[in-house]
A and B are shown apart, each in its own frame.
Chain A
Amino acid sequence: MTEMVYGTVPVRTGDPVIPRWWRTIDKWSMSCILMLFGIGLMLGLASSPPLAARNGLDPFYYVSRQAFFGGVAIVVMVVTSMMNPQLVRRLAVLGFVGAFVALALLPIFGTDFCKGAVRWYSFGFASVQPSEFLKPGFVVVAAWFMAAGQEIAGPPGKTYSFVLAVIIVSFLALQPDFGQAALVLFSWGVMYFVAGAPMTILVGLAGLVVFVGTIAYAESEHFARRIDGFLNPDVDPTTQLGYATNAIREGGFFGVGVGEGQVKWSLPDAHTDFIIAVAAEEYGLICVLVIIALYTTVVVRSLMRLMKERDTFVRLAGCGLACAFGVQAMINMGVAVRLLPAKGMTLPFVSYGGSSLIAGGIAVGMLLAFTRTRPQGGMSDILGRAGR
């Protein structure tokens, strides 16, 4: 009765962990995540055999790896989502420190996979990209700072979190990994916005982003080439983007059929950055719309649930995580349809990649932990005790 009326559940001490988790978790979002992972596996079956053939591996090498890492990621997600916000915060701060050290040491111990940037640590069986793990950690730490900053006589948390963001962004930009840098900056901006940024500063920040973008365009050839490719109205059919666009066209509404797609043979990044093109070609617009709907559901539902949240830290951290997750998906798909300039960014949970899957599992697990139904003091509102 109480739950139906107020959307709150009184927490009973001694309540078993798993039933309580099951009652309070956002089941819709979690189902969406699981479906996304399933779609990712299905698309991996289509997109990765050509790559495996090129590398002389078993055709389903990448699919089985994806399934393995996906399983790990789901377990990590569920375990994380069972924690309470304080525990999440503690572990996230520790994880953040670890990931930051790893990021800082990249130039010394990292591996360059011939793509012009040192972003990975290579361990025999897998490679790890510290920035993937840094992102959720940063969101939590920044939210903590900001929440603390709202306390009376608290530290200037917004300033601290901004300084932290700038440090991380500059580390990432030096790699160079402008995509992750932009994501970090974006999630900080979102949290700052929700934490109550004055309008003047928001406008100023927008100006700063434009300015930094211009500098990057002028200074970095890598970056400039991608922007030029985007601004050029007619797409060269022999670029990655051209192949992606043609794949979407070939697919039409219902796709060319399972296994019939061609784009996976020509695109080197078909299993990661351009997996949406494979989806569009083989399964058609329908599949793409389903994927988009799943991402939208996760992001919008999480934000709606956070609207009711009274704890500033939980609200900010959850919002940052949800937006980082959503915007990454948005950028990936926006690039494929040429709404955004070409930027290598994986589609969370769908693209192939062990380290990004597990990092995604952690991030989404945290998000689910933050969006769990909790007593929000609605009772005291009704009893008229608030503000007295």
Chain B
Amino acid sequence: MNYAALRRPLRPLARILRARDTGEDPEEIARENLRLRHEQIALKARARAESRLLVMGLAFLCAFCVIGLRMGVIAQTDPEEPRAAATGNPIIGQRADIVDRNGRILATNLDTHALYAQPREMIDPAHAATELVRIFPELDEERLLRDFTGERRFLWIRRQISPEQLQAVHDIGEPGLLFGPREMRLYPNGPIAAHILGGASYGREGVDSAEVIGTAGVERFFDAYLRDPAREGEPLALSIDMTVQAAMEEVLGGGMTLLNAKGAAAVILDVHTGEIMAMASLPDFDPNNRPPVLTEGDQSDSPLFNRALQGVYELGSVFKIFAVGQAVELGLLNANTMIDTRGPLTWGRFRIRDFHDYGAQLSATDVIVKSSNIGTARIALQIGAERQRDFLGRLGFLEPTQVEMIEAPTGAPLLPRQWSEISTMTISYGHGLSASPLHLAAGYASLLNGGTRIVPTLLRQDGPQQGERVVREDVSAVARDMLRAVVTRGTASFAEVPGYEVGGKTGTADKPRPNGGGYYDDKVVATFAGVFPANDPQYVIIVTLDEPVETSGAQPRRTAGWTAVPVAAEMIRRTAPLLGLRPQVELATLDGVVVSAEN
């Protein structure tokens, strides 16, 4: 029994009721009615479907037309760029050259080849292995043979081969030995500017090319820039001058050998533009064949360690000029103000001594000239911790240098945990705050160039930096006069280079023992920080020697005046002409020459 059928309403009710009365079959009427209704629904649905199908048809027609048109548009345009033969991302091997400020090449690329093998293609693996070992004696014949006859389908044999080796391998005549073109990074000057350039190695390698990526120095810092295809190989111009760099490294190397130093660093910086004209650290390395990173011991002993940038040292008395300069700027004293230098100066459990006893008092200039720790500490006390910290911060001593090398952030200065009054005093003569030679160069340049902050850079600049003012111009001049006096009649007398009016300050800092056990008696870091010419400042020079000792006298001498200063003087003598500075020759007197005219 169909319940739904029972509940179905009787439609059309009137006719069915009438039919019941007249004895007709009501079912038939209901069926007829149902058929008519059904037909009506179908008619309506069909009419609606007809228009909707038309819409669909038109939509498909349009869509296919659009695709056809789009095909036509694409077919009309030219193919975009040559495709790489292999699937996957192409490896872009090009890398821009690096040149010095005059366009001399520091780093370039050389076309070379990599050698690889496809053992499946090999005809005579045994012969190939024997011949390969003859060409490359360092290869192991048995292992090669094992690789050639085993399951491997591909193996690299050598990453770079010379043209002679290429020819020799070619002459083996083995079709399974193949060459992949490579670009090889070449540093034609060998170790010159090694630390600045850093080095490069291969990144992703394919058969057709390999990525050359920077591993250190500017190569790493400007890696993306150098590899940017949009720059079309335009070289990267650095601020350094290759000839100056070469001369500096030569002199520094000679000085380091003569003075038995463990290491040495030097920086020459343009005081107006902040350009690093030369920066060297010894011992150095050849970036064409970068030594491996030390796996044990102190990384700062590695030749890879850049002492000029990463090495932070207590640089000693070279800091005194900052204290005196700031005191002059603050109006606490002038060049002739007498400073109490009676010693020792006792502060709590600390005692500050001088190298010699300089008597009861010295003028401010003489505090610098004679390098009095006590005098400087007294001046620093007047300045106070807050102001000293602020001043050193404006000179850039509180943060890593922002020079364009990947290692720059690792050269962070070591600051006292608490900038107490005793810290203030020791920092004033260069202890208790460790900074890199490059920090010192930037600080000297900012103080002495007329008093505006400069930030050292390795990129060639077009004009002087417009940094914030650090000290007044006259303060800068006073500081220069004091530094000049140090050379003419003070501790840096060996720095006198005729015609170049060198001014500068020596610093001899005892090296701290490792693990905070006080200071060594016989190990120093000797530094000379200078400016030349003092009357028209152009360049700042920093020379730092690690553990130098001068043994020509009766006693071994370690002070900077005997070690760093002569090296710096020789450096200036060699590089100043290369830097384009004319010697300021004093004109011979014209006495006895009579100018007359007769007519």
Contacts and interface: CB of A to CB of B under 8 A. Distances in A.
Contact of A152 (B38, B43, B50, B76): B38
Given A299-B60, A303-B53, A337 B74 contact: yes
Which of B38, B52, B81 counts the most A-chain CB atoms under 10 A from its CB?
B52
The 10 closest A-B pairs by CB, nearest first: A303-B57, A337-B70, A296-B64, A285-B75, A249-B79, A248-B74, A307-B53, A292-B68, A299-B60, A307-B50
Interface string A51-77: 000000000000000000000000000
B289 to A, nearest CB: 34
A323 to B, nearest CB: 7
A190 B56 contact: yes
A193 B61 contact: no
Given A339-B67, A386-B43, 13 more contacts: A150-B42, A152-B41, A153-B8, A196-B48, A252-B75, A252-B76, A292-B67, A296-B60, A300-B61, A304-B57, A326-B64, A337-B67, A387-B36
A67 B56 CA distance: 33
B119 to A, nearest CB: 17
Which of A195, A249, A250 counts the most B-chain CB atoms under 10 A from its CB?
A249
B56 A303 contact: yes
Interface of B: 4, 8, 34, 36-43, 45-46, 48-50, 52-54, 56-57, 60-61, 63-64, 66-68, 70-72, 74-81, 83-84, 87-90
Contacts of A333: 67, 71
Contacts of B74: 245, 248-249, 337
Given A303-B53, A339-B70, A238 B87 contact: yes
Contacts of A262: 83
A288 B78 contact: no
Contact of A337 (B57, B61, B71, B78): B71
A62 B334 CA distance: 96
Nearest to A267: B87
Contacts, number: 132
Contacts of A370: none
Contacts of A304: 53, 57
A266 B56 contact: no
17 contacts: A196-B48, A237-B81, A238-B88, A238-B89, A243-B83, A245-B74, A246-B80, A249-B79, A249-B80, A252-B75, A253-B75, A285-B75, A292-B64, A303-B54, A307-B49, A315-B46, A339-B66
Interface string A345-388: 00000000000000000000000000000000000000000111
Nearest to B85: A266
A299 B42 CA distance: 24
A268 B86 CA distance: 12
Contacts of A237: 80-81, 83
Nearest to B54: A307
A188 interface: no
A387 B56 CA distance: 28
Which of A251, A285, A337 counts the most B-chain CB atoms under 10 A from its CB?
A337
A312 B43 CA distance: 10
A194 B47 CA distance: 10
A307 B50 CA distance: 5
B8 to A, nearest CB: 7
A238 B64 contact: no
A23 interface: no
Contacts of B38: 151-152
Contacts of A45: none
Contacts of B50: 307
A284 B75 CA distance: 8
B52 A194 contact: yes
A103 interface: no
| Secondary structure dominating the interface of B | helix
B57 A285 contact: no
A280 B49 contact: no
Interface string A283-294: 011001100100
Interface of A: 150-153, 190, 193-196, 237-238, 243, 245-246, 248-253, 262, 266, 268, 280, 284-285, 288-289, 292, 295-296, 299-300, 303-304, 306-307, 310, 312, 315, 319, 323, 326, 330, 333-334, 337-339, 386-388
A285 B79 contact: no
A319 B54 CA distance: 11
Given A238-B88, A253-B75, A296-B61, A246 B83 contact: yes
A20 to B, nearest CB: 25
Contacts of B45: 150, 195-196, 312
A253 B43 CA distance: 48
Given A237-B81, A319-B53, A326-B60, A266 B87 contact: yes
A230 to B, nearest CB: 14
A143 to B, nearest CB: 12
B2 to A, nearest CB: 11
A193 B50 CA distance: 11
Contacts of A195: 45, 49
A38 B83 CA distance: 31
A238 B42 contact: no
Which of A249, A303, A323, A386 counts the most B-chain CB atoms under 10 A from its CB?
A303
B83 A288 contact: no
Contacts of B89: 238
A149 B70 CA distance: 41
A249 B53 contact: no
A273 to B, nearest CB: 15
Contacts of A295: 64
A253 B73 CA distance: 10
B426 to A, nearest CB: 59
Nearest to A296: B64
Contacts of B75: 248-249, 251-253, 280, 284-285, 288
B71 A238 contact: no
Contact of B52 (A193, A243, A248): A193
Contacts of B79: 246, 249-250
A299 B52 contact: no
Contacts of B61: 296, 300
Contacts of A245: 74, 80
A304 B45 CA distance: 16
A145 B61 CA distance: 29
B27 to A, nearest CB: 16
A330 to B, nearest CB: 5
A175 to B, nearest CB: 26
Contacts of A250: 79
B4 A153 contact: yes
Contacts of A196: 45, 48-49, 52
A388 B36 contact: yes
A196 B52 CA distance: 8
Contacts of B87: 238, 266, 268
A292 B37 CA distance: 43
Nearest to A248: B74
A288 B76 CA distance: 14
Nearest to A298: B60
Contacts of A323: 56, 60
A190 B56 CA distance: 8
A268 B63 CA distance: 27
B502 to A, nearest CB: 58
B33 to A, nearest CB: 10
Given A152-B34, A315-B49, A280 B80 contact: no
A225 B39 CA distance: 52
B71 A288 contact: yes
B68 A288 contact: yes
